[in-house]
Amino acid sequence: MLTKEALEADLKSAMRAGDDVRKRTLRMVLTAIKLAEVDRRGPLDEPSLLAAIQKEAKARRETIEEAKRANRNDIVAATKAEIDFLQYYLPQPLTPDELETLARQVIDEVEASGPGFVGKVMKVLMPRVQGRADGKVVNVLVRNLLNEL
């Protein structure tokens, strides 16, 4: 189970080991968690902690895209190392086949019969794939599957 205390312990471990990537990444994640706790006015539960880590990973993916456009390979390499480290805390992503299977199950479950049911399918499907699949990818897949009906 992921807890803020476990992240703080990992930060101390990284500081003792002199691992700059882990130390820098964990500090940024803990800062994001503290900001979320202030906004929420209380401690975060595990899904909220995962959401904060996912948000940090997404921000780093965007940084990589911007750094590539600016030909900053040093930033790309450093940011990729941070993303690789964050993957340790995130659940394993769904494979395309697993995602399609889940989407088909939900389509059958809500008895969707065409493209007009995208919202209804997404409302049921997204909590099931939370943190394990990108929402844009899920939306495109659902739209394609519903267009086939």
Domain boundaries, the chain: 4-87, 96-148
pLDDT at 140: 93
Report pLDDT for 60. Answer: 93
- Write out pLDDT tens, residues 113-127: 888 899 999 999 998
**What is the rounded average pLDDT of the residues 21-33?**
94
* pLDDT tens digits, 50-69: 888 988 998 999 999 999 99
30 neighbors 4 (Cβ within 8 angstroms):
yes
The predicted structure's pLDDT at residue 2: 80
Of the candidates 44, 46, 81, which has an alpha carbon nearest to the alpha carbon of residue 60?
Answer: 81
Quickly list DSSP for 67-112: HHHTT-HHHHHHHHHHHHHHHTTSPPPPPHHHHHHHHHHHHHHTT-
Q: What is the pLDDT of residue 18?
A: 93
What percent of the chain shows pLDDT beyond 90? Answer: 68
> For residue 89, how many other CB atoms are within 10 A of its CB?
19
Q: Which two tokens stand for residue 115?
A: 């493209």
Question: Over 90: is that where the pLDDT of 98 sits?
Answer: yes
Confirm or reject CATH 1.20.950.20 for domain 96-148, answering yes or no: no
Q: Which of 19-23, 34-38, 50-54 has the lowest mean pLDDT?
A: 50-54
CATH number assigned to the domain covering 4-87: 1.10.1510.10
- Residues 24-45, mean pLDDT to the nearest whole number: 92
Distance CA 63, CA 25 (A): 14
